[in-house]
Amino acid sequence: MTKRITVKTLRSMKQNSEKIVLLTAYDASFARVIDEQGVDVILVGDSLGMVMQGHDSTVPVRVDDIIYHSKSVVPQCKRAMVMADLPFMSYTNPNQAIKNAARLMQEGLAHIVKLEGGEAQLETVRHMTRHGVPVCAHLGLTPQTVHKLGGYRVQGREEDSAKQMRTDALALQDAGADAVVLECVPVDLAEKITHELEIPTIGIGAGRVCDGQVLVLQDMIGISSLAPKFTANFLVDGRNIPEAIKAYTQAVRDESFPADEQCFF
């Protein structure tokens, strides 16, 4: 029987300098193929609001939407761990967060939940992890706050914001977080955070030093209406979809992805 990836596996992969591969999926067919191609973690991201529902941000996504997609994905995965996003406004306090995390795990069958934010989420992360909920944090560009951030921009370029991100990452680890996504972060900052943490960092537009990488599936197969700078289309050179997923997985593992053109300096 295939052994499922767990948060312990992720931590030992970091210790052994083995890159962690994540990709989003929202349905059974893609989930099965992605699992078969050896992706370690499948993210049922709230990016589904954009790539499945056609919104221009992740803000309209509801807990029920994530559950609907997550419960289609999880039964297809023999090896991959499935991470589900807590959507916008579903974790404004520890009690609300743990209730919604329980729904993602009990109804959506997810193995770990992800939420966005640093300092403001410490109590929530502590509450959830103390009650046995595995948590991945998300720092840098946090798409749920796009209207507050004023657009999808690189984060942590100034000395103060970089310092704050490093402090937040360490505090989230102390609060019990099992991993942290770093989105649109300059390479040198992502590198510092990766070296300072014992838990894995998962980069998206954060350079190849991160312990793992994540992409949105539709970006990775070149069918998104907007392709952010940090993505690459692997459905090229006559590959079919399983081959494209395999190529992405190999490129993360051999560190040929991300290349410099997908990074912020």
Active-site amino acid positions: 183
Interaction between residue 219 and ligand KIV (CB under 6 A): no
Tokens of 39: 């992706």
Does 168 contact ligand KIV by CB under 6 A? no
Give the CA distances from residue 201 to residues 11, 38, 181, 255, in Å, rounded to whole numbers and listed in that order: 10, 19, 6, 15
Residue 165 beta carbon to ligand KIV: minimum distance, rounded to whole angstroms: 16
Q: How far is the CB of 238 from ligand KIV (least distance, A)?
A: 27
* Contact mark string toward ligand KIV, 94..133, x via CB under 6 A: ----------------------------------------
Only segment of 42-50, 95-103, 122-130, 244-252 that touches ligand KIV (CB under 6 A): 42-50
Which tokens is 107 given?
């109804």
Binding to ligand KIV in span 54-93, by CB under 6 A: 85
Q: Distance of alpha carbon 77 from its chain centroid, rounded?
A: 17
Stretch that binds ligand KIV, among 27-35, 38-46, 125-133, 227-235 (CB under 6 A): 38-46
CB of 51 to ligand KIV, least distance (A): 8
